[in-house]
Structure 1
Amino acid sequence: MHRFTTFILVLIVTFFTATCARITVNVYFPAAEIQDAAAQIEQEVRSGGESEPPVDPSGEKKQRGSFLWPSIRTVHIAFTPPSAMAQAPNINITTPAIRRLIASRKKRYSSLVPLLQRCVLGENNRGLLDIRSLQGLSLKDKARAKALHGQENRDRQQLYRELATANNLPANRLSEIGPIFAKVNRRDARPGWCIQDASGNWKKK
């Protein structure tokens, strides 16, 4: 009888050990929601729209569109009760740092358009600008193009970092934000602009 009881206890312990070993924590990366936010940001940069998000009657800032987006981080654990699942916040693009970077890019955009139109600069597949060709430019214009290229890429890279920080995105997924913005920029590029597809090939739109 004692051996049988011990055997049962061993089985129970083994079962729970195996169950616990199967528990995993999956961090949800909201790619679709980030793409919506990217489209909103890039539209603002290119349209010269509002520098601040709308304000509701209560005086609180709202994100355009009033999207109800899924949670930035959803934890999937075996046997987790539904009541323990976190509710979903919006993608936050309203921090002072993010607004400052958007405003900086808006001021620069009109100077970038001629360079993009001539394919001096092109939209690469990492959400940044590449210098495609400086041929035919004066020394002054070459210097100007290089300066704008560097300034714009610094702002974009900082914007992606600020988005990750503001929305508690996992650090190891930061490199995925740029390509999402690149997808939006390819879609919204004007005819004649140089764009790089996801496979690395360049073409004129």
Structure 2
Amino acid sequence: MKIAKLTSSFTMLLMLTACVTINIYFPAAEAREAAEKIVDDILGDEVQKSIPGKDGQSLQWSPSAQQVSFSLLDLLIPAAHAAAKPDFSVNTPEVRRLQASMKRRNSSLHPYYQKGVIGFTHNALVGIRQLSAVSLKQRAQLKNLVKAENSDRNRLYKEIARANGHPEWEKDVRSVFGQTWIRKASKGWWYQDAGGSWVKK
């Protein structure tokens, strides 16, 4: 009788733990694919179809410890884990609106990327790298452009996480986009490495 109760309790605990494990799973591959489509659309013709890791830079996705750790549950319920793999949705009115807004703005930002005045930051935003290269008359305009772009980017990452029912995924979404912006940048553009130093691609 006691053995039966213990078995039942263990089964219930296993099921509850399994639910937690499944619910926190972040679909990195699907997120990368979605990010590439969005970034390609925003950058348009300026996108350089480069290979990840080109020029000696390692731009591969680095999964969190949560994704690379294998637990007993992963071995016991692989089918359940696979079945619970969520669709990564980016098709919402707000995502489309933000994407369109950033695409329109890109034509104004592009010359500054080309000149090395601005670049992609390590936290998936746009940073001003060399303001002195811009005339005094243009500085206010550039600052407003960058501010508007970063506002849209922050809202985009938050909205994508929210649209998938996991607001806690915002950090992961930002990380995926951060690497995607850099990977899709044209040769000669600037980006920040993990330490915050500017690097020319």
Q: TM-score category by the smaller chain?
A: 0.7 to 0.9
Higher helix share: 2
Task: Tell me the number of residue pairs that the alignment of Structure 1 and Structure 2 aligns.
Answer: 169
Q: 1:84 to 1:163 in 2, by over 3 A?
A: closer
Residue by residue over 1:46-105, the C-alpha shift from the partner in whole angstroms, topping out at 9 and shown as x without a partner, is 117xxxxxxxxxxxxxxxxxxxxxxxxxxx79987x699857664323211111111101
- For residue 45 of structure 1, the aligned residue among 42, 45, 50 is 42
- The aligned counterpart of 2:5 is 13
Per the TM alignment, residue 180 of structure 1 is displaced from its structure 2 partner at its CA by: 0.6
Higher relative contact order (CA 8 A, sep 6+): 2
Matches of 2:170 and 2:81 in 1, distance apart? 27
Cα distance in structure 1, aligned partners of 2:39 and 2:89: 15
CA distance in 2, matches of 1:19, 1:30: 27
**Uncovered stretches (5+) of structure 2, i.e. residues with no partner:** 46-72
Paired letter, 2:133? G
* Paired letter, 2:163: A
Contact kept in structure 2, 1:45 and 1:102, CA below 8 Å: yes
Cα gap change, 1:171 to 1:92, in 2 (>3 Å)? closer
Specify which of 156, 180, 187 is matched with residue 183 of structure 2: 187
- State the partner residue of 1:144: 141
CA spacing shift, 1:173–1:197, aligned 2, 3 Å = same
State which structure, 1 or 2, has the greater radius of gyration over its C-alpha atoms: 1
Q: Distance in 2 between matches of 1:138 and 1:84?
A: 56
Task: Specify the code of the residue in structure 2 equivalent to 1:204.
Answer: K
Give the one of 28, 32, 36 matched to 1:35: 32
Match of 1:167 among 160, 164, 169: 164
Letter of the 1:120 counterpart: V
User: 1:108 is matched with which residue?
Assistant: 105
- Equivalent pairs: percent with the same residue? 37
Structure 1 unpaired stretches of 5+ = 1-8, 49-75
